């Protein structure tokens, strides 16, 4: 009796409310709108295998799939029969039917369209029909109604100002993605006019239900086509309790890639990295002439060691270390040849006398690359640490300067938050590197 009275008290209710809120945060809320109900009926009436998953809304993530019962490690969580897969072939058949119904007499050359282009065209036409409130005759119409209404968080859509605040490596990839889009778009236009076009073959498919699964780098899964059941199956090796969100793993991707391709970022993503190519190139090394720097960069290029220098959580790329060990050797040599302060690596006549030094440097460096030697020597290793610190300081400065600029932008804009997180993660990575002092020091060598 006493216990019962206590359970009805205010503290109990507050605690219950708090527990409920925090479990909602983890578990999300089930979505039961008309579109979802129609989708479930469509799946069932067409023989889609039963799943222990339902659509939910999860705080901080959005829609995803929730376990309706306990799921054990090793269970197949989704099995998509072939007829539910929106493949290139399936879409082309649907497009042909659509064109026929529209009275289009043009014979499209289906060899000239890739899977990605055909699926995009099909989805765009379906969306257009939906907007015009025309009845869809597509087998997939119940699924198409559930596709996200917008997808604007990709850097593809960033305006020039925000685009300029992305790390350089991301900018290059976004530009490539924009060019690819332009190419695909033009190819689809040529296909519609039945002009000849050139398309590279790809192999993608859209899978109802399966495509509601969100990504987690911790999710352990296997996805493969089962030839005996003719289904694409997802097996999870991560168990889930009833009410938890189930995830798949889109691959070992860093946040640059995830933001560009999927429009979100993860915190503490173990695959994140900081690119320091620019910092390496602009590093000022005493006694290194412009000609010597160029010669060294050309040498690194010829050996396949130029660029792609990265820092990861407590890990410096071998490429960066190896390039640095090579690049700063002439500083050491410049100390030994104090009467001549110009570069060992220059090609001027006065420097030819230093060719033997150059040969020694290259020989030592090749031993490093082959793994025959670990370091050039202790002095070189000391200098490597000094220059690594400089690189870290420059990388942190760039991140902090960009974050300062981002402070002026709308703090509630999702894309701004994503870009901020990218730079904050960069600071975390650089600071995780042991040589870097927490309070920045600037060197004057
Ligand atoms: C295959 S869909 C997954 C289902 C999607 N959430 C939906 O509502 O249809 C992939 C998209 O889901 C979102 N997403 C996936 N994993 C996420 C995560 N861990 N955090 C935030 N958004 C995520 C991204 O917008 C991504 O482009």
Residue 245 structural domain: 2-84+207-262
Q: Give the three-state DSSP class for 151.
A: coil
- Ligand 1 geometric centre to CA of 331 (Å): 50
- 180 & 298 share domain: no
Q: Are residues 184 and 215 in the same domain?
A: no
Question: Of 204, 208, 262, which is best to mutate to test ligand 1, by the most ligand atoms within 8 angstroms of its C-beta?
Answer: 262
Q: Decide: residue 107, CB within 10 A, 0-12 exposed, 13-18 middle, 19+ buried.
A: exposed
Ligand 1 nearest-atom number relative to CA 148: 9
Q: Check residue 6 and give its pLDDT.
A: 41
261 lines ligand 1 (CB under 6 A): no
Distances (CA, A) of 133 to 126, 147, 185, 206: 10, 16, 25, 23
Distance between CA 30 and CA 197 in Å, rounded?
46
Q: What stretch of H or E contains 293?
A: helix 290-302
Question: Do 108 and 242 belong to one domain?
Answer: no
Same domain, 307 and 385: yes
C-alpha–C-alpha distance, residues 312 and 330, integer Å? 28
Per-residue confidence (pLDDT) for residue 356, from 0 to 100: 66
Distances (CA, A) of 81 to 13, 86, 147, 410: 47, 11, 19, 45
- pLDDT of amino acid 54: 97
pLDDT on residue 83 = 95
Last residue of some domain: 262, 283, 299?
A: 262
Query: Has residue 197 been placed in a domain?
Result: no
The response to whether residue 169 sits with its C-beta less than 6 Å from ligand 1 reads: no
Whether ipTM exceeds 0.85? yes
Residues of the chain with pLDDT under 50: 1-25, 334-343, 347, 437-445
Same domain, 281 and 254: no
* Residue 51 placed within a domain: yes
Using the structure block, give the residue that is written with the tokens 């412009």.
Answer: 290
Length reported for the chain: 445
Tell me whether residue 268 is in a domain: no
Please choose, from the candidates 131, 126, 138, 119, the residue with its C-alpha nearest in 3D space to the C-alpha of residue 46: 138
Q: Is residue 98 part of a domain?
A: yes
Domain match, 286 and 420 both:
yes
| Cα 384 to ligand 1 centre (Å) | 42
pLDDT for the residue 232: 97
Q: What is the CATH number of the domain that holds 56?
A: 2.170.270.10
Same domain, 80 and 92: no
Q: Is position 441 within any domain?
A: no
Ligand 1 pocket test: pick from 218, 264, 268 the residue with the most ligand atoms within 8 Å of its Cβ. 264
The residue nearest atom 5 of ligand 1, judged by CA position, is 212
Q: Are 411 and 316 in the same domain?
A: yes
105 and 35 co-located in one domain: no
Is 202 within 8 Å of 209 (Cβ atoms)? no
Is any atom of ligand 1 closer than 6 Å to the C-beta of 208? no
Please tell me the residue having the least CA distance from ligand 1 atom 12: 214
Q: Quick check: is 443 in a domain?
A: no
Query: How many domains are contained in the chain?
Result: 3
Atom of ligand 1 nearest to the CA of 212: 4
- Residue 440 included in any domain: no
Q: List the one residue out of 89, 116, 92, 78 whose CA is nearest residue 204.
A: 116
Does 247 sit in the ligand 1 pocket, CB within 6 Å? no
Q: What stretch of H or E contains 232?
A: strand 231-236
Q: Residue 54 falls within a domain, yes or no?
A: yes
Residue 205's nearest CA partner among 53, 94, 91, 129 is 91
Paired residues of 81 in beta bridges:
231
Q: What pTM was estimated for this model as a whole?
A: 0.85
């Amino acid at each position: 009796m006493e216990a019962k009275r206590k359970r009805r008290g205010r503290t109990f209710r507050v605690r219950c409310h708090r527990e409920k809120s925090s479990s909602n945060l983890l578990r999300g809320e089930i979505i039961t709108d008309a579109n979802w109900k129609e989708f479930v009926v469509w799946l069932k009436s067409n023989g889609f295998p039963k799943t222990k998953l339902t659509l939910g809304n999860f705080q901080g993530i959005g829609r995803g799939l929730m376990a309706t019962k306990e799921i054990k490690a090793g269970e197949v969580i989704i099995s998509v029969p072939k007829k539910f897969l929106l493949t290139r072939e399936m879409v082309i058949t649907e497009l042909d039917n659509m064109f026929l119904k529209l009275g289009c007499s043009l014979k499209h050359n289906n060899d000239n369209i890739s899977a990605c282009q055909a699926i995009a065209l099909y989805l765009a036409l379906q969306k257009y029909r939906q907007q015009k409130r025309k009845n869809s005759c597509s087998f997939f119409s119940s699924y198409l109604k559930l596709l996200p209404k917008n997808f604007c968080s990709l850097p593809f859509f960033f305006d020039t100002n925000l685009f300029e605040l992305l790390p350089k490596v991301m900018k290059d990839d976004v530009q490539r993605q924009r060019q690819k889009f332009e190419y695909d778009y033009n190819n689809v236009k040529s296909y519609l006019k039945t002009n000849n076009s050139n398309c590279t073959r790809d192999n993608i498919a859209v899978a109802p239900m399966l495509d509601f699964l969100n990504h987690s780098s911790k999710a352990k899964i296997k996805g493969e086509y089962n030839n005996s059941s003719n289904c694409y199956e997802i097996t999870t090796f991560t168990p889930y309790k009833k009410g938890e969100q189930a995830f798949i793993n889109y691959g070992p991707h860093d946040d640059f890639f995830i933001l560009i391709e999927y429009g979100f970022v993860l915190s503490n993503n173990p695959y994140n990295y900081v690119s320091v190519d620019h910092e390496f190139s602009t590093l000022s090394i005493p006694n290194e002439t412009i000609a010597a720097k160029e010669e060294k960069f050309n040498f690194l290029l010829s050996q396949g060691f130029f660029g792609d220098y990265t820092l990861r959580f407590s890990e410096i790329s071998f490429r960066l270390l190896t390039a640095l060990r090579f690049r700063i050797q002439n500083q050491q040599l410049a100390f030994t040849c104090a009467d001549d302060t110009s570069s060992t690596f220059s090609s001027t006549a006065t420097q030819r006398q230093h060719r033997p030094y150059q040969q020694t440097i290259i020989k030592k460096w090749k031993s490093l690359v082959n793994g025959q030697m670990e370091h050039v020597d202790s002095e070189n290793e000391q200098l490597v640490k000094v220059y690594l610190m400089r690189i870290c300081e420059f990388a942190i400065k760039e991140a902090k300067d960009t974050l300062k600029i981002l402070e002026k932008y709308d703090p509630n804009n999702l894309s701004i938050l994503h870009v901020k997180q990218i730079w904050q993660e960069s600071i975390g990575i650089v600071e995780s590197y042991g040589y870097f002092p927490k309070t920045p020091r600037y060197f004057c060598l």
